[in-house]
């Protein structure tokens, strides 16, 4: 058996790909390591972060002081969690504000070294925001997404090329979990007479979701990739089981539970594909729901875990 080292580059069907943990992932050339490149990365990762977490925490950096004051004065635990998430958002934005100004100064010929006081303050803001990440939830409300939350700090603290490498590792992990969820869905419905053709729709959606996961929005093919993903998502959302003309209550409940499970799987794969990081707790919970569905409606068929 040939072992392919992680980081191996290869042209596959005319596309440059890099190998990590069993997956050949679409590869992109990183920009030269500079303050300008880091500024763009910090801006992009911060913007992407706010796009995937709960609403209301994108607080402007200039309001950092009052946000911190509100957090420190809050005594109710549930409200303190939310205010902690808002403080983290303000810290990320303050760091972006500082770094943007540093780049502007450098463009004016002013040398900015690593020990610059504003550089240190930027790093401190990102580090504190990272420490508050446990208080921030994904928009689904199910769990946090720690890997995504740490990206602006990594963009600041490590070379640009190393940052790109870390993203490929996370994408490979995400693709693995998308495959796990898809396999569980296919196994759950493959022998279900109400949902016998669901596996075809699930596989098509999974393929499009994986394409979306590995493709940057700046890619020239994003128009085809994104539209293909949306159409496949709409098709699985519209999927309906094959029902009898006059189903009884048990069959109606069976159909409703199956549709709910498919929609939950679609939502989770969508979250993973768009964020490009794993959601381990949500994935574990969903796989358990698939097994429970099989135990209820198909007890004679082994579950994915035991098959």
Q: Is a pLDDT exceeding 60 seen at residue 302?
A: no
Give the model confidence (pLDDT) of 213-229 as tens digits: 999 988 999 999 999 99
Is 158 in contact with 192 (CB distance < 8 Å)? no
Q: Where are the domains of the chain?
A: 35-157, 170-297
Q: 158-162, 168-172, 198-202: which has the minimum mean pLDDT? A: 158-162
How far from 28 is each of 37, 148, 164, 225, 264, CA to CA, in Å? 14, 19, 8, 16, 32
Is 25 in contact with 17 (CB distance < 8 Å)? yes
Give the model confidence (pLDDT) of 172-213 as tens digits: 999 999 999 999 999 999 888 889 899 999 999 999 999 999
Element (H, E) at 152: helix 151-157
- DSSP for 197-243 reads THHHHHHHHHHHHHHHHH--TTSTTHHHHHHHHHHHHHHHHT-----
Position 153 scores a pLDDT of 80
Q: Highest-confidence range of 88-102, 127-141, 164-178, by mean pLDDT?
A: 164-178
Q: 149-163, 188-202, 253-267: which has the minimum mean pLDDT? A: 149-163
Is 146 in contact with 133 (CB distance < 8 Å)? yes
Q: Is a pLDDT exceeding 60 seen at residue 306?
A: no
Q: pTM, whole model, 2 decimals? A: 0.84
Span 109-133, average pLDDT: 84
Q: Is a pLDDT exceeding 70 seen at residue 303?
A: no
Give the model confidence (pLDDT) of 58-93 as tens digits: 999 999 999 999 999 999 999 999 999 999 999 989
């Amino acid at each position: 058996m040939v072992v392919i080292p992680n980081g191996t580059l290869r042209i596959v069907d005319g596309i440059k790909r890099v190998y990590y943990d069993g997956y050949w992932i679409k590869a992109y050339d990183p920009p030269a390591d500079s303050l300008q490149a880091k500024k763009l990365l910090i801006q992009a990762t911060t913007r992407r972060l706010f796009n995937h977490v709960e609403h209301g925490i994108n607080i402007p950096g200039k309001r950092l002081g009052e946000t911190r004051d509100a957090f420190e004065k809050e005594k109710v635990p549930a409200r303190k969690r939310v205010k902690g998430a808002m403080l983290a958002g303000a810290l990320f934005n303050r760091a972006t504000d500082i770094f943007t100004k540093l780049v502007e100064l450098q463009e004016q010929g002013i040398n900015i070294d690593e020990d610059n006081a504003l550089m240190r303050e930027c790093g401190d803001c990102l580090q504190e925001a990272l420490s508050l990440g446990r208080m921030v939830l994904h928009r689904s409300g199910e769990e946090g997404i720690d890997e995504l939350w740490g990206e602006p700090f990594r963009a600041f603290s490590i070379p640009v090329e190393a940052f790109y490498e870390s993203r490929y590792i996370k994408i490979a992990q995400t693709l693995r979990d998308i495959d796990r969820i898809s396999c569980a869905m296919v196994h759950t419905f493959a022998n279900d007479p109400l949902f016998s053709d669901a596996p075809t729709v699930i596989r098509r959606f999974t393929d499009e979701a994986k394409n979306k996961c590995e493709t940057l929005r700046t890619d020239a093919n994003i128009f085809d990739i994104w539209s293909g993903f949306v159409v496949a998502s709409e098709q699985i959302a519209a999927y309906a089981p094959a029902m009898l003309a006059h189903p009884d209550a048990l069959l109606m409940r069976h159909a409703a539970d199956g549709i709910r499970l498919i929609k939950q799987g679609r939502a989770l794969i969508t979250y993973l594909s768009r964020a490009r990081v794993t959601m381990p707790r949500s994935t574990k919970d969903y796989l358990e729901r698939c097994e429970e569905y099989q135990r209820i409606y198909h007890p004679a068929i082994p579950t994915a875990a035991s098959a």
